[in-house]
Amino acid sequence: MKAVIGIDLGGTNVRVAKVTQDGKILQEVKSPSYALEGPDKVCANIIAQLHKIEGVKDCLGIGIGVPGPVDTIRNVMKMSTNIPGMTDYPLGDKISAEFGIPVYLDNDANVAGLAEALLGAGKGLPVVFYITHSTGIGGALIVNGKVVSGRNGYAGEIGNIIVTRDGEKINHLNIGAVENRASGIALVKSAQKHLDPSIDSAYGLFQKAQAGDPVANSIVDTMAYDFAAMCSAIGHVCDPYAFVIGGGVSQSHDLYFDKIKAYYNQLVHVGMRDVPFLLAQLDEPGILGAAMLPVSHAH
């Protein structure tokens, strides 16, 4: 069975790995991504890193996980805040021309979700909804081992789902968008305002909640309700076999997953209440998920 190549392209670093189809990393290289030096430099650097990997041309294909929405038909980024100038840049075509094998791009949350659906907590399930709960909130719908990207590549951009009419307009998101209410950044802001200005992480808030602080527990409880409201909107559309939740905030899962599940059950039809909320399993979902893109397309 042919190996695959996974590339995790971020605003700071790029990692390239040769991976087996069942998720074992065979070889890996890492470099700065040179994101601020323009797309030609970013692309040339990725090609240079790929040349350090043995037998790229014999692999099934190359998958690249990138920050932001992707046109998966044309293999281009649709929004490239972290990598200026990369919007509509033919990254996939250039790399494919160099090595003569297919190249697939997708959003970093989508590839992490694909990894969890094919190799991790959702393995073997026909419909998995993956949520990354970290600085922001992102998601991915994986159906029969394939990411559903949608017409414009925005499927799974769940951070913009409205869970309340209250709140302020922040960046490109709606007023009352769940990312402005339940993300890591939102938790820190709320904790600094209502509890302690020195709290600088969601973990700090969860520690205070665990110690019994009533304000901290109230903030966590509100977050869990808003998160559950988002999940109920998702559940009523695709009724997944499981929600799989990863990302930095989920490291404190034992302090809020049960709350999300309880609120979710209040918000959905009785027949939908048995869905499991699972903690993501993989240590390297970004690079493994990118590597799973060619596997997914081959099926």
Share of the chain above pLDDT 90, in %: 91
Residue 288 and residue 274 share a domain: no
Q: What is the mean pLDDT of residues 47-65?
A: 98
The reply to whether 109 and 153 lie within a common domain is no
Tens-place pLDDT, residues 246-262: 999 999 999 999 999 99
Q: Which domain does 89 fall in, by range? A: 4-113+284-298
Mutual angle of helices 184-194 and 202-210, in 10-degree steps:
60
Cβ within 8 Å of residue 217, ≥6 positions away: 209
- How far is Cα 142 from Cα 58, in angstroms, rounded to an integer? 27
Same domain, 259 and 162: yes
131 and 209, same domain (yes or no): yes
Same domain, 147 and 262: yes
User: To the nearest whole percent, how much of the chain has pLDDT over 70?
Assistant: 100
pLDDT at 69: 87
CATH number of the domain that residue 172 is part of: 3.30.420.40
62 and 146 share one domain? no
Residue 243 lies in a domain: yes
Whether 141 and 259 share a structural domain = yes
pLDDT at residue number 170:
84
Backbone angles phi, psi at 87, to 5 degrees: -60, 125
Q: Same domain for 109 and 129? A: no
pLDDT at 299 over 80: no
Pair (174, 216) in one structural domain: yes
Q: Which residues pair with 19 in a beta bridge?
A: 4, 25
How many angstroms separate the CA atoms of 79 and 154, rounded? 10
- Residue 172 scores a pLDDT above 90: no
- The pLDDT tens digits for 188-235 are 999 999 999 999 999 999 999 999 999 999 999 999 999 999 999 999
What are the beta bridge partners of residue 267? none
Task: Let me know whether 79 and 100 are in one domain.
Answer: yes
pLDDT category at 245 given cuts 50, 70, 90 is very high
Asked if residue 188 belongs to a domain, the reply is yes
The mean pLDDT value of the chain amounts to 96
Is 119 contained in some domain? Answer: no
- Is residue 257 domain-shared with residue 130, that is, in the same domain? yes
79 and 153 co-located in one domain: no
- In-domain check, residue 251: yes
Q: Is residue 118 in a domain? A: no
For residue 238, is it within any domain?
yes
**Number of domains making up the chain:** 2
CA pseudo-torsion sign 26, 29, 30, 35 = negative
Is residue 292 within 8 A of residue 115, CB to CB? The reply is yes
In a domain, 138, yes or no: yes
